[in-house]
Amino acid sequence: MTAIHSEKHSWRSIELFSGAGGLAVATHLAGFHHEGLFEWNVDACATLATNARRSSIPGMNAWERVLVPGDVAVQSFEKFGGIDLVAGGPPCQPFSLGGKHSGMNDRRDMIPQFIRSVREARPRAFMMENVRGLARRSFATYLQYSVLQLRFPELQIKPDETWSQHLVRLEQHSTSRKRSKGLEYNVLVQVLNAANFGVPQSRERIFIVGFRSDINAKWAFPQPTHSLDSLLYRQHVTGEYWERLGMRPQEMPGQYIRKAKAMRSGPPPVLSPWRSIRESTIDLPAPFVGFDNSDSVFNHRLQLGARPYPGHTGSPIDYPSKTLKAGDHGVPGGENMIDFRDGTYRYLTIREAARVQTFPDTWKFEGPWSEAMRQLGNAVPIELAKVVASSIGHSLGQADS
């Protein structure tokens, strides 16, 4: 569950593809003041507006004034020229393992619009996140192409040019000794697992971060703070995990047995333990039957029908959740349900899924269950994005000093 506080700095930012607000909340808590939030989905816009009106987080009530519904393709970003940060998670269906894997040939690919926003806004830094699938070997060339465009956003594709021809020209420009003095960014790419940063979900996301070449950022990706080894050690070597939760030790998934046994003769792991579904939801009441909200708990209605089947076995409750999914892929009996390890299963409620994505308990999701799960399945975990955004803000501050 995300702590409700923000950093003392206030950098200026815009965000594309805001969705339910995961990345927007993260950057806000890291000290970025949003001057534009762009989102086309009606229910996601309602979620953003609802929470802006009722939020106790300082400064977030201004979100409703800067929310821009509709297609980003028709928006101009030139009025944000020189802003501190452009952030966004372009729609990921073209590259998702759960999608049709169309990639660069998919009309839903919004990475070109993110690149255009960088070109027009000329931010001091940008942060783009996407699904792990974008880093797959089959999309390696397109990832390279996207990164080069973000390095040299003014070197646009010509009307009579294919994307592969444009890639050649970008590569030649990148290796030239006589590059022009146009807009240029220093860009780093890395896949991060949210569980390694204290999120109760094993969710890998690719982050592409860039700093304008005139910024002396001296930035690097944050290092993991949590590990599976530490969780296994506290569960099956010291027993501290079970003692803290007041439980008897539970059976562990088979793939971890050999690793846990080997750890008994070694030193204790240094990092903090991965967080489990049980830890992150243990203080919630039982899911509500027939209603969504109580006086203090929102979106916690029981959804019936969960069942396992081959390839969709649920998430063991004493480990981080598997990657939450959006849409129909994996939802009926798969990743979005809890395996209680006693032969019983049920869907995560919206509130439990929000905990897994580290949304604040005050965050209320609009739309039916399937739509709220779509919003959550598409979101970036707040605590993961906050770590990255905070490090970007720190580097911007250091560059100013």
**What positions carry a catalytic annotation?**
92
Q: What are phi and psi of 26, to 5 degrees?
A: -60, -50
327 contacts 377 by C-beta, under 8 angstroms: yes
Query: How far lies 365's CA from each of 15, 45, 197, 216, 317, in Å?
Result: 19, 10, 24, 40, 23
Q: Give 266's contacts (C-beta < 8 A, 6+ positions apart).
A: none
DSSP string, 72-110: GGG---GGGTT-SEEEE----GGG-TTS---GGG-TT--
Cα 72 to chain centroid, rounded: 20
92 contacts 130 by C-beta, under 8 angstroms: yes
Buried b (16+ CB within 10 A) or exposed e, 24-41: bbbbbbbbbbbbbbbbbb
- Residue 225 CA to residue 124 CA, distance in Å, equals 27
Token output for 311: 């390839």
For CA atoms 117, 122, 128, 133, the dihedral sign is: positive
Alpha helices in 269-331 (DSSP H): 277-281
Query: How far lies 113's CA from each of 109, 116, 153, 299, 309, in Å?
Result: 9, 5, 11, 33, 39
- Residue 76 CA to residue 67 CA, distance in Å, equals 14
**Which SS3 state, helix, strand or coil, does residue 69 take?**
strand
Unique residue bearing structure tokens 């562990």: 252
